[in-house]
Structure 1
Amino acid sequence: MVRLPRALTTVASAVLSAATTVVATLSIALMAPLLALAVLFGAVGLVAAPADAAATRLIQGVVWDQSGRAIDDVLVEAVDADGDVAASAFTYASAWDSGPQHGYFFLEVGPGDYTIRLSKAGYRSGTVEDVVVTRRHGAALGDLVIKRRPAVSRTTASLVDDRVSTADDVLVRVAVTSSATDRPTGTLSVVDAGRTVASTALRPNRHGRAVLSLGQLRRGVHLLQVRYTGDDLVLGSASQRLMLVVSRYHRGRVTAQAARVVTSAW
């Protein structure tokens, strides 16, 4: 084996050490940009995608009125525990044939406890309390109902005969109309001098029309009025006053109603 002189060994060691330092320095210089990018992307990732950003869930449902019609353009708001509106949307018709065709809404919110507010012009406002949304589950509210504000009604009435005898039944024709519906319900009453002499329920299939029989009234002049109570969709109203003349029945005299029946038979 050949031994190098001590001086040469020392020089060789110094050269090797210097080369190693240069290589290490160069490696660090080359790796520095990669390390910087790694740190940068890691930081950006933490800022752009926080843990709560993907925790939003849906609150959804369908809004109807009291007559069973799904309603579009209802403002739906999710109000959080601080009283702030966290999300809002209008009800609409789903674009999918399999979806609700009217009245559907969805709200995208984070976990929390919410109050859902419903509002639309011409309707009473509605609320749904304590709607809870978690990180795992939203809230399917199903069918929600808001009631239409009652609309004005008009009640008209007429006598089948305004002159009858004490032997005749008094008949009153009544019609109730409203812009809210063509099938109003409620109760019709005929009042004579503050006393109810007849009443009947107004059926939806009669489209606001009815004929009331008052039976036989005493002799004299009667001022009759028809009063309509109204329902959830329609406000009550009263007809004009009707003047009825009732004369004494004389045996052998043909009454007005009997004469009409005979005439119609021909």
Structure 2
Amino acid sequence: MSDVVLRVIGIGPGGRRQITLEAVDAIAATDVFLILDKGERTAELTAVRQQMLDAHARDGHRVVPVPDPPRDRNPADYEAEVRRWHAARVDVIDEALTEHLPDGGSAAILVWGDPALYDSTLRITDALGRRRDLTVEVVPGVTSASALTAAHGIVAHAVGEPIFTTTGRRLAATPAGADLNQIVMLDSALAFRETAQPDDIVYWGAYLGTEHQIIVSGRVGDVTDEIVAKRAEARERLGWIMDIYLLRREEGS
């Protein structure tokens, strides 16, 4: 197989203007764009990617939809299921590269946010590189965490304090002393309802940087019901949601 350049391009959390100039240049240099297709449920996200390509890709580029392998969202063994899903993704992307770039060239995968933060694409490219000749180029993107703090107009921490980034699944396991400022991603259950104190402060945001953006902030005891209701309504209306929050422990709690 001929050598292929595979670019992993961070495109930010959803706003079309949050794409960086570096990402614009990388898109303009690419022949084939692999779009992991998750069906009608996320058709709007696919459309946003397409709008970025319409604006920045060169003439003659090709868009190749790649069916995203199904995944069990509530498995008995979470890590084993993720490994299985990643392996299935490696297979379908390898097949797409073989079919659409048999003589070499460049391909790209557009990644929401930044490829280094709770995204599996770089693990997949590592596995691909063990199968075939592959040069991987990574372009960083605006993270949902930075978009969240910008939307609320806040600093993520007090002077000299640490920030602990985690997922909803692991929020309850945050180590003692690391819970001053917790940035929580991938939390469909809004786990802070079980871990936070009423006087803690939550800064929540969904669809950051897009026309659908919603933000809520305040004491956990005051705004939790509002967040739950707005999240449920928006997900029902749009069919998808990407949200994140910063949980700040009230001093003395």
Asked if TM exceeds 0.5, the reply is no
- Quick one: higher RCO (CA 8 Å, sep 6+), 1 or 2? 2
Which structure carries more strand by proportion?
1
Q: What TM-score, normalized to structure 1?
A: 0.24
Higher-Rg member (1/2): 1
Q: What TM-score, normalized to structure 2?
A: 0.25
Which structure carries more helix by proportion?
2
